[in-house]
Amino acid sequence: MSPQDKYFSPFKAVIDTYSLSEQFTFPFYYQPHPLCLLAAKELQAHLIIQKDWQHNFGLKGEKESAIGKMFGVLLVKNKHNEIGYLSAFSGKMAGTNKLPEFVPPVFDMLAEDGFFMTGQCEINLINEQIKELENNPQILVFKTALKAEIDASSLEIKKHRTKMIEGRKQRKVQRIEAEIKLNTRDFLLLKQQLSKQSIRQKNQLRDLTVFWDERVKKAETNLNQLTDEITRLKNQRKELSAVLQQKLFDQYRFLNVKGEQKNLSDIFKQTTQLVPPAGAGDCAAPKLLHYAFKTGMKPLAMAEFWWGASPKSEIKKHLNFYGACQGKCQPILEHMLEGLKMDDNPLLNNPAEGKSIDIIYEDEVMLVINKPSGLLSVPGKSIEDSVYMRIKQSYPKATGSLIIHRLDMSTSGLMLMALNKDANKKLQRQFIHRSIKKRYVALLDGLIKEDEGTIDLPLRVDLDDRPRQLVCYQFGKPAKTQWQVIERKNKQTKVYFYPITGRTHQLRVHSAHLEGLNTAIIGDDLYGDKASRLHLHAEYIEFNHPVTRELMIFQVDAEF
């Protein structure tokens, strides 16, 4: 084997019976090629038996400090026409970004003699200086003194303003009484006296304000003598970090099949993000493709899998395969895969083509429909066909937005539609006040031990991989679901879901997440495994008619 092929792994098993794909994998949504599955198994076997490095994946019960990892395998043909595979991991592992058997990073930012580590050392020194200065106990003393001066200033000035208001009231009373009781000469003399009192109180306020401003300013000066250096160091750190980050972006240069190079800065200038997100370029997919192009290997297929304990926020299951992320990898791979014959993007296909909407109930102000799985509720970026478009075409005289609530594209079941603005507003109000009762039925890919419960996990969008959702206690919106087991059969569990809130992908995440039911819904291609469809159906809804206020109840059983 030639020196440049030291990361090329020939298959241990005989692969003569396997056929090769004519097109490269669409990396964001795919079924792994059989040879990629075989390569992944061989890599996983290596991870179990290797002794060259240690990393806590959380597979032996040590969950506290566990860090699972995304691994990738790239099926390639080398210069000698041999079929094999390359392996890579995302980010760092075992404290480094370079390990035996895995392709190197596109740029080694951790090289000890490199500019990044040198710059990082300089920033670390500034961090230590800032920490030391911030630990000075005098800062707390001066901060306390400044607060005391500000509080005292506010109190004294407030007291004097209250005194002035009371004085104005008294002088007004005196003027009114004097105008009745006194002659003109004495009344004018009194008005002069009262005016002088007013001026005196205003001057006192001015002097009081100047007095306290000087005291507060003196306290601020004492504090600033200690904090100005901290502020200067923080600004210096910010400038150094920006320069270092930009230099790093320029060093990450990615090849494509044509031999063209683009760095991170140039790649992300064409996106809405403008600036590369943290960790961009260090994922497995870009590393694999860059190394293949650099060494003259032909990429044939690719797959990425998660190895280790599930992370606390996102849903990644041990041994499950996942597409490349949209935020970090999509812009990079778009450049890298340019000119490479690739599978069509299945996300551009309309899975609802040929499927119809069943009208369950209809009157002059509203509809109740049964949405088929695969049909969007509203038009998407690449697919126009949706509940909204179909109802708009069928009911051209309808006014307002039609849509009151949404179901995921993959979810089937009952939806309410308003045919005028007033009905829309009244039905929306019921959703806002959570007076509408809904029940979903789902088939989960595993057995749930408990019979019922409540899941309370806040959710937000994964900014690096839309439309996936994350569990996030800091920035997530409240999301609450009640559930109840209906049946356990064939290592699957059928459950009822009663969503208290209505967040995007709420039931899917609450099912699959480690702190939820830890069992994905069958057919969940985002949080579990693909199947013929997502086995989630909105089967029951109860609400008040927007005009008559009559209680309306509808149920449509699931097809599964």
C-alpha distances in Å from residue 80, one per residue of 8, 10, 150, 182, 402: 11, 12, 79, 119, 61
Cβ neighbours of residue 468 closer than 8 Å, sequence gap 6 or more: 314, 315, 461, 462, 505, 526, 527
Cβ neighbours of residue 3 closer than 8 Å, sequence gap 6 or more: none
Gap between the Cα atoms of 191 and 471, Å rounded: 71
| Residue showing tokens 């778009």 | 334
Cβ neighbours of residue 185 closer than 8 Å, sequence gap 6 or more: none
Gap between the Cα atoms of 144 and 138, Å rounded: 10
Gap between the Cα atoms of 324 and 267, Å rounded: 17
Which one of the listed residues 5, 282, 408, 524 is annotated catalytic? Answer: 408
**24 and 337 Cβ atoms separated by less than 8 Å:** yes
Q: Which two three-digit tokens encode residue 448?
A: 């749930």
CA atoms within 13 A on the CB side of 520: 16
Cβ neighbours of residue 471 closer than 8 Å, sequence gap 6 or more: 312, 313, 314, 457, 458, 459, 509, 513, 515
**330 and 267 Cβ atoms separated by less than 8 Å:** no
Pick from 470, 125, 70: nearest CA to 283 = 70
Residue 524 designated active-site: no
Q: Which residues are catalytic?
A: 408
